[in-house]
Amino acid sequence: MTRSREQAGPLAAELKALGADVIEIPAIEIRPPSSYAALDLAIHAAEDYDWLILTSVNGVKALFTRLAQLGSGIEKLLHLNIAAIGPATSAAIEQEGLPVDVVPEDYVAESVVESLRDSVRGKRVLLVRAKVARDVIPKELTDAGATVDVVEAYETVVPEESRARLRDVLSNPAERPTAITFTSSSTARNFLELLGKENTNQLNGITLASIGPVTTATLREIGLRADVEAEEYTILGLARALGEHREL
């Protein structure tokens, strides 16, 4: 598993329930942004926005943590229409006490755009996300007539301590995995950085499993493959896809 250590639990539990032995080697580490200035400004000006879009559980945690640190409560956001990219993000928002208005049919940025395209003309939209992310949502919603402010709430970095561990596992026949899971484009890109392009032959015979089409596209873009892709772009969907794969 290449997911961040903080978020590894649910996928590990699902895979273990299917009988798998799980090796956790995080390819991403979640860190606070280099500056909270933009996020703080957006929180203070929350009344000026019509829509709030959150694209990950990490974004939800970062936003509400900062909200509390600034001494504000959820009442600051109660007037907003809220869109979540998928059920896990939606559940995290609802746990904070806010209702979610839109969860798209497919849990990708393109589906968020399709769900909101007819609702945002002339509206101000706040998109809270990671430092590095695809620009599909801000570009397409701007084209649809919205004013979109993109705010960095956290960043993902490569955990250097995983480098030696990954190479040890891949070179040790007793530990060598049957499958490797990728839950985001960041896990895919960082995994390759940890492994090194010159060592991709070490993946021969190992099933590479993707949570969905965006992650699959990233794997292919960086020269890797996706042998398994979840039909439902969730942690449970990924676990099920691996469980149904003949190699497991």
Q: Are residues 61 and 144 in the same domain?
A: yes
Q: Are residues 82 and 140 in the same domain?
A: yes
Identify the pLDDT of residue 146: 96
CB 39 within 8 A of CB 152: yes
Q: Name the nearest CA neighbour of 183 among 222, 130, 226.
A: 226
Q: Are residues 126 and 113 in the same domain?
A: yes
Domain C-terminal end among 96, 124, 156: 156
Tens digit of each residue's pLDDT, the chain (248 residues): 998 877 778 889 999 999 999 999 999 999 999 999 999 999 999 999 999 999 989 999 999 999 999 999 999 999 999 999 988 899 999 999 999 999 998 777 888 899 999 999 999 999 999 887 778 899 999 999 999 999 999 988 899 999 999 999 999 999 999 999 999 989 999 999 999 999 999 999 999 999 999 899 999 999 999 999 999 888 899 999 998 885 54
Q: Which CATH number covers residue 112?
A: 3.40.50.10090
Q: Answer whether 0.85 is exceeded by the pTM.
A: no
Domain C-terminal end among 156, 176, 205: 156
Q: Are residues 124 and 150 in the same domain?
A: yes
Domain count, the chain: 2
Identify the pLDDT of residue 248: 47
Q: Are residues 144 and 167 in the same domain?
A: no
Identify the pLDDT of residue 211: 94
34-56 CB burial, b ≥16 within 10 A, e <16: eebeebeebbeebeebbbbbbbb
Rounded CA separation 82/72 (Å):
18
Q: Are residues 150 and 186 in the same domain?
A: no
Identify the pLDDT of residue 105: 81
Q: Are residues 35 and 142 in the same domain?
A: yes
Identify the pLDDT of residue 229: 96
Domain span at residue 55 reads 31-156
Q: Are residues 141 and 43 in the same domain?
A: yes
Rounded CA separation 42/30 (Å):
21
